[in-house]
Amino acid sequence: MTIQLDLDLSRDPLRVLESTRPIVQSSSLVQIDTQQIERVATLLGEMPVPKPDWDRLLHPVSPDSARLANLVLVVDALNFCFWSFPNSEKPRWQVTWNGTTYNGYAALAVALRRAVEAGYPLWDGDFLGTITEADVSEILAGDPDCDQIPLLRARMTHLREVGVALVERWEGTFLHAIRAANGSSSRLIAEVLRALPSFRDTVLVDRREVRFYKRAQILVADLFGAFGGKGLGAFADLHTLTAFADYKVPQVLRHLGVLTYAPELVAQIDRQELIPPESDAELALRAATVWGVELLRQEIARRGRDRPAYAIDWALWQAGQALPESVEPYHRTLTVYY
């Protein structure tokens, strides 16, 4: 049975919902359970609305707005793939800083903060544009005897790309792009996609472009958080952001029963086998994540509460950080997009 997916194009300027809808409607690998949508919407609707945050104890920070904007861009240029390969003999990549050990995204944040405090000018386009793999390896060095962060060379490429764009397109500061967007997240995302190929999170399916834009969208949310939702961090259309389709949010949606997987996909994920990028399974997982969150948003709205998709995503992602190790694993795809 084809699931009903209502779409308001005025809420979808990036066409993420529109482009992913056919995948959800046709996939036999991942299904959305509409009865569980109602149950989970009740839980989420009663929770306070989480706001995009920029933890100033973990992230690299600066009192200078131009440097801070560049640092946020650097963080999200590197915001992907923090897991270890299955059957690794070492612990996953982790970073101990100021006596506390972090993994995942938090480890990235503290590694970059550590580097800034050690004198690496990670806001400087000239430095980033010629950064070496040795520099990146040192900046993102994990604890002794743990795995190296995945896709290290790709991270170097992303940093160089950011550096070139800062120097050649934005006169050294991402503030020029932010100001030119004039409070529009969709305009800012469009500029980022033009300037930085590594943010172009799309795939062609039957000659149609499917869009996810995970890191480009979360960049806007992070700017909101870093600047406190005011001035440079004020976006009038933040409500049009979709879920940031990654590997943690679908894990939580599966755990809650919102997403159900075909038996062969369950077996593949539970065995922690790699799901190839742009495969039918990977696209179905991400598209169902986008629409699972959108249906939760719609159901909560029908009950008279306003919960934008990004806030639902954040609530689910935060819940994912507290899941016990015994819970169903997340899917693993080796990609720079999430």
Indicate which residues carry an active-site annotation: 246
User: Which pair of structure tokens corresponds to residue 85?
Assistant: 């390969």
The DSSP line for 94-136 is: EEEETTEEEEHHHHHHHHHHHHHHTT--TT-HHHHHT--HHHH
Query: Alpha-carbon distance 162 to 185, whole Å?
Result: 19
Query: Alpha-carbon distance 117 to 179, whole Å?
Result: 28
In this structure, which amino acid lies at residue 335?
T
Query: Alpha-carbon distance 50 to 317, whole Å?
Result: 11
User: Which pair of structure tokens corresponds to residue 64?
Assistant: 């200078």
Burial readout 10-42 (b: 16 or more C-beta within 10 A, e: otherwise) = ebbbbebbebbbebbeebebbbbbeebbeebbe
CB 250 within 8 A of CB 333: no
Helix residue spans in the chain (DSSP H): 16-26, 34-45, 65-77, 104-117, 125-129, 133-139, 152-168, 175-181, 185-195, 214-226, 248-255, 263-270, 280-302, 309-320
Judging by beta carbons within 10 Å of its beta carbon (0-12, 13-18, 19+), is residue 337 exposed, middle or buried? buried
Q: Which residues contact 57 (CB under 8 A, 6 or more apart)?
A: none
Cα 70 off chain centre by: 18
> Helix or strand or coil: residue 179?
helix
User: Which pair of structure tokens corresponds to residue 248?
Assistant: 């943690």
